[in-house]
Chains A and B, each alone.
Chain A
Amino acid sequence: MTQHHPDSFILMEYSAGNLSEPHALCVRLHLEQCPYCRSRVDMLDSLGAVMMESRPKVSVDDSLFDRLLTRIEDEPAQQDPIEVALRGHRDPLRKLLGEDLANLPWKRQLGDVSVLDITDHFPGQPERVVLQKLTPGGKAPAHTHRGTETTVVLQGAYTDNKGLFKQWDFIVMGEEDTHKPIATHDDDCITLSVLSAPLKLTGRLTRLLNPLIR
């Protein structure tokens, strides 16, 4: 099991469906491998359901149910549950990047560091989304962050002044944090990082401006 988890506030915003797509991807990748966080999200989803049930209700148009029946009549007969379940098996990372992380079109940046910018996979989202690969024992240059940097370790492990971060660990670095990651010696270390927009926009504004950003 992983040692570094998203906090309850991130998981709540995930459960509420409020995170941007790249941030949701980071949480989703961690959840896949972390039963502890899955059970926290389960409880938060239940909290969402109870919230929805405790709020006011608004009656719907009388004809809506009949229109719905007409619509489902046009649906193909009940789908084969096995086929649906198979199709339902979703691995977002593989969908985005294919099977082989090692052979992506990496761009060598400095001696030990290669990067691949995958921001274009998330049209309309304000964050930058970057994969980084350190060779075994490789050092990334020390850096600080504008805004926050959310990272999930996809392969291998790295250390910095905060500790040891292994596969599927979830790390959030704030503006004030400086770090100098060093990959462990056994393997390439590949991380997925989401960098919040340099402009510090609050949630609602971000959404309003979203269509204008790209």
Chain B
Amino acid sequence: MSTLEQTTTRSEGHRDPWGVKLERVGKHQDREAYRLLFEHFAPQIKYYAIANGIASHAEELVQEVFVSIWRKSSLYDWRKAAASTWIFTIARNQRIDMLRKMQRTSAEISVETEDLWQIPGENEEEPVTALHRLVSERRIRDSLKHLPEEQVTVIAKVYMEHKSHQAVADELNIPLGTVKSRVRLALNKLKVILQDENV
């Protein structure tokens, strides 16, 4: 049995518990499952909002994310994306949306946030990618613990604080090249960089 098959069997055996709850919300409007998801993810999303510099709108963001989860849950399929990845992309899009609304002067908007940033699993029929996603999320979670702190810090600033690599370099007062080499080392370790890629 190959490593991929073993990992696949394991993920079948331990279905993502949050994915199961999310499907219950989607299929049965299960409010208890919805509450459990809220208790687990709301505090993460609130921190995400604060780290992103929108502390005064933190609970508003949490609420928008959960309304969106409720609306979209009927489209969620645990085989297509881990629940936490799916919820992360919804939080990201709601954060983008909120900033766009704050900054916009006119009501005119020709491209919506979700035209630019898609939620994984929507409009696709590729079971292979889906399996790949579940396996890679588990692998990333396991190997993140072993990354040096300086690499985690840089990636956290990009994801949690809405900063470009250049902005991270400016803030930490290190060259952009150093930031990029930390990211590259981390992505290699997490196997996010595919082997044939040269960056």
Tell me if B5 is interfacial: C-beta within 8 Å of chain A.
no
Main secondary structure of the interface of B (DSSP, over half): helix
Annotate B94-116 by CB proximity to A: 1 below 8 A, 0 otherwise: 01100010011110111110111
Cβ distance A96 to chain B, nearest Cβ, rounded Å: 6
Tell me if A61 is interfacial: C-beta within 8 Å of chain B.
yes
Chain A residues closer than 8 Å to B187, beta-carbon distance: 8, 12
Chain B residues closer than 8 Å to A90, beta-carbon distance: 112, 114-115, 118, 123
Within 8 Å by CB of B67, from A28, A71, A202, A210, lies A71
Annotate A57-83 by CB proximity to B: 1 below 8 A, 0 otherwise: 111110011011101100100110100
Main secondary structure of the interface of A (DSSP, over half): helix
Is A49 within 8 A of B85, CB to CB? yes
Within 8 Å by CB of A84, from B63, B74, B93, lies B74
Tell me if A124 is interfacial: C-beta within 8 Å of chain B.
yes
Q: How many A-B residue pairs have CB under 8 A?
A: 223
Q: How many interface residues does chain B have, given as a range?
A: 35 or more
Given contacts A24-B117, A25-B111, A45-B88, contact A58 B47 (CB under 8 A): yes
Cβ distance B187 to chain A, nearest Cβ, rounded Å: 6
Give the CA-CA distance A134 to B166 in the complex, in Å. 34
Chain A residues closer than 8 Å to B20, beta-carbon distance: none
User: Residues of A with Cβ closer than 8 Å to B?
Assistant: 7-9, 12-18, 21, 24-25, 28, 31, 35-36, 38-40, 42-61, 64-65, 67-69, 71-72, 75, 78-79, 81, 84-85, 88-92, 95-96, 121-124, 202-204, 210-211, 214
User: Residues of B with Cβ closer than 8 Å to A?
Assistant: 29, 31, 35, 38, 42-48, 50-51, 58-59, 62-63, 66-67, 70-72, 74-75, 81-82, 84-85, 87-89, 91-93, 95-96, 100, 103-106, 108-112, 114-118, 120, 122-123, 126, 129, 132-133, 136-137, 140-141, 144, 152, 155-156, 158-160, 162-167, 170, 180, 183-184, 187, 190, 192-194, 197, 199
Please list 22 pairs of residues, one from A and one from B, whose beta carbons are closer than 8 Å in the complex, sorted by A's number. Answer: A12-B158, A12-B187, A17-B95, A18-B158, A21-B111, A21-B116, A39-B129, A42-B120, A45-B85, A48-B85, A49-B84, A56-B47, A59-B43, A65-B38, A78-B29, A79-B74, A81-B74, A84-B71, A84-B74, A91-B115, A96-B111, A123-B108
